[in-house]
Amino acid sequence: MATVSSERRRIASAATLILVAYGLSRVLGAVRELVIANTFGTGHNLDDYRVAFGVPDLLFNLLLAGAISSAFIPVLSEHLAKNEPERARQIAGRVLNASVLILTVGAAVLFVVAPWYVSLIAFGYSPTDHELIVTLTRILLLQPIFLGAGGMVIGILTAYQRFFAQALAPLFYNGAIIVAAAFFAPRYGVTALAVGVVVGAILHVSIQLPSLWRTGWRPAPGLGLDDPGVRKVGRLMFPIALGLAAAQVNVFVDTILGTSLPHGRVAALRYADTIAQLPLGTFSQALAFVLFPFLARDAAVHAIDSIRHRTALALRLNIFVLVPASVGIAILGVPITAALFERGQFDADSVRQTAYALTFFSLGLAGQAATALLVRVFYALQDVITPLRISLVVIAVNLGTNIILVQLLAQGGLALGTSIAATLNAILLGRALRGRLGGLE
């Protein structure tokens, strides 16, 4: 009983820390967007930046991001649960080396072919815009290397259930972008934003290194491609990365569809998404993030009852928080957007265009929250195939609905398609998990 009580206190303490940190990070993220909005409004140069940002984002999400951490944490947690800390550290070092190498090679390839794919994804833009997007993309390609390394460190610290340093990392990342937007962007334009992103990514990984060192981790040579633990991470990672790649194709299609709309609509869509992500980031994603290593250790010792209990409780908490938040955002979209962004170049029309998309994003918040949790339960169980199959179905539905809805509702149609997809994803994942666990408590 004392052990259970102690674990509950650890989860509660970690959850409180991460919730506060995520809340601060989302606030800083909103401040970041506020400063950017004040400087650029929804002008077309900002659209160039958003389009350019999508390419490094694709590299990060495809090759690392959720894929490798979702595969890596259960494997590391399994060895820690078996009291094999040296083996866990060995696998961690080798996977980190391989991840940084893959990201560096990927960034180098994209740097060379940047003019080609920019002309492909921004076909509705002028040659001058294309030139700027290529420049921004090449600067931003440094971001996934450092942010990817930081993400790997977060995975290691999460498996060790150490949350403080990783909670600070996003604050430094957003802080660097805010400084760039406030003090350098007025003079140097969107190029300053790109440089700020890279500096933020460097700070993101640097702030975590002392905590990583205290776990006993030390740099180790080699990639360990013949290491069974590294290979297991790779086997789990591939289906996750495939699902993320398909999802990123969806994001790219949204961007391409958005470029067919009047200038400023892509920026309005991204501002709306930033607002919609506030309740998700400050509560739902933080809760899922904290639970993940505990779920992974439960799975390692086959504690199915504990997994059912944790999952059911987290779903109830999400419904309790997200449903009222969705209603509030839908009703108060215009005043919320105006309060956050209406200043400088962000005028009344920018508010209307952003709030319009926000209304449709609000419909999918509960679905996004449930999906973030349920996917991690499957990953903790080392089942990566079920979420992949479901995601491919959902992505196909999302593509079809977005192509139709963008013609009817402009950027609101893209937001509505995202909400429909998120809700469908949550429903299908929930049904599959009930079958896997024999119900939810």
Q: For residue range 216-240, what is the model confidence (pLDDT) as tens digits?
A: 877 777 777 888 888 888 888 888 8
Q: Residue 425: which of 210, 250, 216, 181 has the closest Cα? A: 250
pLDDT confidence tier of residue 172, bands split at 50, 70 and 90: very high
Q: For residue range 47-100, what is the model confidence (pLDDT) as tens digits?
A: 888 888 877 776 666 555 567 777 888 888 888 888 888 888 888 888 888 888
For the packed helices 265-279 and 348-362, what is the interaxial angle rounded to 10 degrees? 50
**What are the CA-CA distances from residue 239 to residues 83, 119, 236, 286, 315 (Å)?**
28, 30, 6, 24, 25
pLDDT at 4 over 60: no
| Mean pLDDT along residues 253-275 | 83
pLDDT of residue 11: 66
* Residue whose pair of structure tokens reads 């399994």 in the numeric block: 78
CA distance 67 to 388: 11
| Mean pLDDT along residues 238-243 | 80
Task: Rounding to the nearest 10 degrees, give the CA dihedral for residues 96, 98, 101, 102.
Answer: -110
Q: What is the mean pLDDT of the chain?
A: 85
pLDDT confidence tier of residue 183, bands split at 50, 70 and 90: very high
- Percent of the chain clearing pLDDT 90 (strictly above): 34
Q: Are 237 and 379 in contact (CB under 8 A)?
A: no
pLDDT of residue 65: 58
Q: For residue range 371-392, what is the model confidence (pLDDT) as tens digits?
A: 989 999 999 999 999 999 999 8
pLDDT of residue 61: 64
pLDDT of residue 8: 64
Q: For residue range 140-152, what is the model confidence (pLDDT) as tens digits?
A: 999 989 988 888 8
Tell me the pTM.
Answer: 0.75
CA distance 31 to 26: 8
CA distance 285 to 161: 16
Range from 1-5, 188-192, 243-247, 401-405 carrying the lowest mean pLDDT: 1-5
| Mean pLDDT along residues 294-323 | 90
Range from 243-257, 263-277, 288-302, 303-317 carrying the lowest mean pLDDT: 243-257
pLDDT at 1 over 60: no
pLDDT at 423 over 90: yes
| Mean pLDDT along residues 394-405 | 91
pLDDT at 261 over 60: yes
Q: Residue 309: which of 81, 16, 7 has the closest Cα? A: 7
pLDDT of residue 126: 79
Q: Residue 278: which of 314, 322, 319 has the closest Cα? A: 322
pLDDT at 247 over 50: yes
pLDDT at 320 over 70: yes
pLDDT of residue 278: 82
> Between 182 and 440, where is the model more confident?
182
> Between 339 and 158, where is the model more confident?
339
pLDDT at 10 over 80: no
